[in-house]
Structure 1
Amino acid sequence: MAINQVHRADTAVVGGGIVGLAHALAAARRGDRVVLFERDTYAVGASIRNFGMIWAVGQQRGAAYRRALRSREIWQEISAKTGLWAAPAGSLHLAHRPDELAVLEEFVATTEPVRERGTAMITAAEAVRRGPAVREEGLLGAMWSPTELNVDPRRAIPTIARYLVEEYGVDVRFGTTVRDVSAPVVSTTAGEWRADRVLVCSGNDFATLYPQVFAESGLVRCKLQMLRTGVQPGGWQLGPMLCGGLTLLHYAAFEDCTARAALDARMREELPFHREHGIHVLLSATADGRLTIGDSHAYAATHDPFADERINAAILGCLDGFAHLPDTRITERWTGCYPSLRDGRTELVVDPEPGVTVVNGVGGAGMTLSFGLAEEVLATR
């Protein structure tokens, strides 16, 4: 009678997006034997449908900002070892209205940690010199931050997976579904595993494993719309990643600024469609010179799969207000979906049973926060 083989690992990770990859890396760096399971044959979720922005300056002040800076360091370490494109482009928050300028000035004046990292207000002329896409007409000033990295998510995610295999011997198993976890046993379509620690980093699939945890978590799904241009002509480069006034209403870093209330009131009056659909506009680049533009935000338990061209038009209209591109032709449009906590928490970390930790809910900041978060999670387990 044949006996089914049971494989062994110190740490098993469920999910091959950026959160799962980051936790596999943190465990492997501790010396663990690590196996990672991803049900798809390659990553297709939120981890490749984003801007590729490692966006420290927008995170909550305090622990989240420090976590983002640590993640940035790890991105740079991986880039140095693999050749992964991770451009230290920095970012420009552009102010074309007085209330936008007021929020930025207050943020810089009241946030010493970002000043220590080189964040500063600059003139309109200096912003134009730094960013070839910056629209000068009506520009009052800008906030320059040097801490933001630009990566190409469609290249970065598979590169990290290969790095885990080649550098640390992680057993990365794409195309393998985890059917059940009853610690220490992990049951998969590729057999059973025993692991001392199981990390469930399942992203948008929070109905399969430990559904009760997620039912009680407050997580909802955020649907977004994004666009991308073709390669810009003549080797043109974006330089710093760009954003405008609506972004100041989206990121937690600016929530405590008293000047934000006046900006919010004006935006609700002048741009009700944008506020209804959670639109704010960011511009980043890919490794080969394409430009990624977005995005919108809709929150619900379930979303229809359809893109609304009115939203795309609103995004492009806002972009035109603060940036000009050599070639504006759109070559790709897509929707994305990620889990989001709507109560101010930056992550969901729960231990549903001994030896199992669920990590989810990093929202749209997975690329920015995951490496630092993983180190923190593993340090306590």
Structure 2
Amino acid sequence: MQPQYDLIVVGGGVLGTFHAYHALERGLKVALIERDNTPQGATISNFGQIVPSGMNSKWQLFGRESLRVYKEIQQQFDISVRQEGSVYFASNPKEEQLLVELHQINKDNDYPSVLLTKKKCLNSYPGLRKDYVTSGLFFPEEIMVEPRVMINRLHKYLKAVGLVLFSNCTVIDCMALSNGIEVQCSNNKSLSAAKVIICNGTDFKTLYPKLFRESDLVVSKLQMMQTKSQQKYRLPSSIFTGRAIRSYGAFQECPSYTGMKSGEKFSSVGKKCGVQIIFKQSVDGSIILGESQQSVYVSKIDTLGTDLDMDVDNYIQQEAKRIIDLPTYEIQRRWYGLFSHCKSADVYQATIDDNIHIVTGIGRKGLTGSAGFAKANIHQIFNLRHV
């Protein structure tokens, strides 16, 4: 008996969906299995920014390919892509130096960026406080999406071009056969494929609990919030400030980064919870603010709790007000997202019985890096070396 599909992808988040997308692009017959009605994990619990500028040189290549893919799909089907760029604001001479160095690195890598004077920053970004900003670095190619809208529209688009999508379907077993893999689901559905890729941490834990426990996956809890609509106020692009400049991989390649890190001083809340201040305006005029980051190994995930830490939220608002005077800081929604990443590698990968591939733990690189990474990974898994 021949397998029904060339590939079954387990997990309908952004990482799994783009593996399905690139397999379809190569003419493969693909099924995507999502345990919920729509994805509920890290894919929808983030800002919705696609920012290769924040990545190290290796991952920026994946991010730039992701930009191309998002924009190409947007031309054919509206998945909520907005090309409004991203900007990093410096607040002191050391941060300014990092921006100058990153601008040169991106110039050498042929990735467009523009240095902004203090005057240009103040004229371009309403409400930006002159006692905070000293300069900026703008990346015009970068985009933003509405995560919940994007992933569901992306599924709709892929179904129209041949994807078979199974929603509300939990995988309970993967069995290697002589000619492929049989996938058993909780609704008594049985599917078969030449290869299976598992891109969901929850399904990884369910199917291979011992391997999951032994992995070096780390889970981070990020708190975010959303203001009420800012009415006629317009924020021209995504904004990254202060600690983002210190913590993102791209800046770690700057010559002066090490010296800057050694002289850091943060409040107890800011340091303990890894707070960095980011702004993004949604299509309804509201502003998404964040974020904090608390991390533990997967074996201790329960210690993160399910509550929001109001001290963290209050600190984020307090710091945000030092940067931009918004018309309102009244909050309409607060939430947190859980993001897993691998301690020893960029992405956690394991292969079982040759044709079952676990690919997860892409962390906060997911929305930006998944489309580009998944393309390379599909080519590797299916041995498409000529591509």
TM-score (norm 1): 0.92
Aligned equivalents of 1:206, 1:128: Cα separation in 2? 48
Alignment partners' CA distance in 2, 1:298 and 1:160: 30
Structure 1 spans left out of the alignment, 5+ residues:
none
Q: Does 1:250 align with 2:258?
A: no
Structure 1 counterpart of 2:11, from 15, 21, 26: 15
**Cα 1:249–1:342, aligned 2, differ >3 Å: closer, same or farther?**
farther
For the 8 Å contact 1:185–1:194, the answer to whether it is kept is yes
Aligned-residue RMSD, C-alpha: 1.9
Higher mean C-alpha deviation, range 134-143 or range 278-287: 134-143
1:122 counterpart (116, 121, 130)? 116
Q: Matches of residues 57-96 of structure 1 in structure 2 within 5 Å?
A: 57-61=53-57, 63-96=58-91
The corresponding residue for 1:335 is 336
Post-superposition offset of 1:270: 3.7
In 2: Cα distance, 1:156 partner to 1:256 partner: 32
- Among all aligned residue pairs of Structure 1 and Structure 2, give the percentage whose two residues are the same amino acid: 27
Q: What SS class does the counterpart of residue 252 from structure 1 fall into? A: coil
Q: What letter matches 2:71 in structure 1? A: Q
Q: Which residue of 1 aligns with 2:384?
A: none
The aligned amino acid for 2:194 is D
Measure, in 2, the Cα distance between the counterparts of 1:110 and 1:340.
26
2:21 corresponding residue in structure 1: 25
In the alignment, what sits opposite 1:295? 291
Identify the residue that residue 349 of structure 1 maps to in structure 2. 349
Q: After TM superposition, give the deviation of residue 287 of structure 1 in Å.
A: 2.5
Give distance in 1, aligned partners of 2:59 and 2:132: 33
Q: Is the 8 A contact 1:93 1:143 kept in 2?
A: yes
Checking the alignment, whether the CA contact within 8 Å between 1:233 and 1:327 is kept in structure 2 is no
Q: Which of 121, 133, 140 is equivalent to 1:146?
A: 140
1:136 matched residue in structure 2: 130
- 2-side partners of 1:23 and 1:74: how far apart? 12
> Is structure 2 residue 258 aligned with structure 1 residue 264?
no
SS of equivalent residue, structure 1 residue 380? helix
Distance in 1, matches of 2:342 and 2:141, equals 25
CA contact (8 A) 2:78 2:153 kept: no
Query: 1:301-351: CA deviations, max 9, x gaps?
Result: 2121111001111111221222222222110000110111234x3212322
SS of the equivalent of 1:206 reads: helix
| Number of residue-to-residue matches in the alignment | 371
2:3 and 2:194 in contact (8 A); partners too: no
The structural deviation recorded for 1:129 is 2.9
2:36 paired with 1:40: yes
The answer as to whether partners of 1:150 and 1:285 remain within 8 angstroms in 2 is no
| Pairwise CA distance, 1:113 | 4.3
* Aligned match of 1:220: 218
1:240 aligns with 2:241: no
Structure 1 residue corresponding to 2:205, chosen from 204, 207, 210: 207
Q: 3-state DSSP class of the match of 2:4?
A: strand
Matching of residue 163 in structure 1 with residue 143 in structure 2: no
Distance 1:113 1:40 in 2: 44
Q: Partners in 1 of 2:2 and 2:275 — Cα distance?
A: 49
CA distance in 1, matches of 2:207, 2:289: 34
SS in 2 for 1:121: strand
